[in-house]
Amino acid sequence: MEDVTLISVVQSSPSPPTLDAFLGYYLDVIGIRDFVIIVQGTDPAPVKDAVARALGPDCRYEFHDWTEPFDDRSKIELINYYKMQARTEFTLVVDADEFVTANLPALHSTHASADFIQMRLVDRIGPYGRLIPLSSCTDWKTLFDDSFPAKVSDHFGSDACKYALTRRNVLLLPGQHGIQNWDQLLVGGPGGDIPLYHFKWVEGVVELLEHRLVTLDANANSAWYGEMARQYVHLKKYGGFRPDLLSDGKIV
């Protein structure tokens, strides 16, 4: 997809456990060749090295080193800045654990006049609610083969609406859950039935949540801090998502 720029904020410590699968998926499966990676943390070098290795010389990519403490307002300001500066007319804003499985080139072509396409976050979990196992060779196909869709976001009261694919002049709200400049937009795309698969519930997520709860400012990140705290307590208690939502490995 030569006409779409992918923009993602990636934490440097701990690095997202799905980073390699994420980059491989959007490069090889979706065909994106233009990336902006905002690396948040005090040591961006390991993430930048991993991105350079994964994308190779045939892609255009740039980095922004975000060394200040994380907060939601700064994150969306950086995202919107790079959206407005994008070399392409459309941008795809996704986290390193979010995978669009729809045929994006066809979707983009069919709704070329739309300013945005609304998607719905769908969590993936392991059999019987267990965390999805990871290894150094885990790729995007393994992630899907070893997981099932579930409404984890609904359980924690999260907003599942996502505006991932938008024109570069569309300014997003925190979490990509809304749009700032509705009054300037002309055309919306299809409704929110396009899944955006979320691989948060993988091995390593407990450490990731613990790190965020220790390092984040609860006041500056009030919208998400309470949600993360509830997720962390739940994971520590059950070792995964609520197993009573599953029966014989299938979603009830």
- d(C-alpha 166, C-alpha 162), whole Å: 11
Q: What is the token pair recorded at 220?
A: 């500056």
Candidates 113, 116, 119; CA nearest to 100 is 119
Q: How many domains does the chain have?
A: 1
Q: What is the pLDDT of residue 248?
A: 46
In a domain, 252, yes or no: no
Whether 140 and 43 have beta carbons less than 8 Å apart is answered as: no
Q: What is the pLDDT of residue 249?
A: 47
Whether 64 and 39 have beta carbons less than 8 Å apart is answered as: yes
Q: What is the token pair recorded at 209?
A: 């949540």
Beta strands in 12-76, from DSSP E residues, in sequence order: 34-40, 60-66
Q: What is the pLDDT of residue 250?
A: 45
Q: What is the pLDDT of residue 191?
A: 58
- d(C-alpha 223, C-alpha 176), whole Å: 13
Please state the pTM of the whole predicted model.
0.88
In a domain, 251, yes or no: no
In a domain, 129, yes or no: yes
In a domain, 225, yes or no: yes
In a domain, 30, yes or no: yes
Domain harbouring 61, CATH code: 3.90.550
- d(C-alpha 61, C-alpha 35), whole Å: 5
Host domain of residue 129: 4-246
Cα dihedral 37→172→154→221 (10° resolution): 70
pLDDT < 50 stretches in the chain = 247-252
Q: What is the token pair recorded at 17?
A: 């456990």
In a domain, 28, yes or no: yes
In a domain, 67, yes or no: yes
Q: What is the pLDDT of residue 189?
A: 64
* Residues 143-194: tens digit of each pLDDT: 999 899 987 766 666 678 899 999 999 999 988 888 998 877 766 666 557 8
